[in-house]
Amino acid sequence: MSRIGKKPIEIPSGVDIQVGAEEITVKGPKGTLSTPVHPKVVYTVEGGVINVGRADESRIARSQHGLRRTLLANCVEGVTKGFQKGLEVIGVGYKVSVQGKKVVLNVGYSHPVEFDLPAGIEAAAEGSKLTISGSDKQLVGETAAQIRRVRPPEPYKGKGIKYADEIIKRKAGKSGSK
């Protein structure tokens, strides 16, 4: 039995959940999210709790059980608290700023790089730190990854855009001849 799949999901006050044939829609103070339903997974709403179970004990049902429970739990958490991802811009002369729905990155290229934020994502720049926030966990992570790809950190000086909790393995430079 899936340990994650067995955990019930508590529904906070102010969150409305609609279980449909194709998808589950979760509405809350931070917006509306939906996740697809798998036919081998059974959802039961009792009081203020959702339980996720299996229709049978097949391999597909067992593999989908924990996944679908986690996707639904992420939707519930996203519409109540939201998700955040932190990025740091490291390098001499490197800076980041937010102008409306655009993130402007000066990261050593001959021109500033403008990144358009998708709908539902907000960004806040504070010095050399950039915080990406939103209600959809997958979209927040993907947006942060796309911004990081503009100038990934390099292993010699550590210059570039890195996640706030990322540790860069440093390499030794060339040693002089003797």
Residues 40-84 have pLDDT tens digits of 999 999 988 999 999 999 999 999 999 999 999 999 999 999 999
Residues 101-133 have pLDDT tens digits of 999 999 999 999 999 999 999 999 999 999 999
Give DSSP secondary structure letters for 27-65. EETTEEEEEEPPTTEEEEEETTEEEEEESS--HHHHHHH
Fold of 3-80: Outer Surface Protein A; domain 3 (3.90.930)
Provide CATH 3.90.930.12 ranges for the chain.
3-80, 83-163
For 17, 21, 146, the CA distances from 33, given in Å and listed in that order, are 10, 16, 22
pTM of the model: 0.89
Residues 140-162 have pLDDT tens digits of 999 999 999 999 999 999 899 99
**What would be the CATH architecture of the domain defined by 83-163?**
Alpha-Beta Complex (3.90)
Which two structure tokens, joined as six digits, stand for 139?
Answer: 């979209």
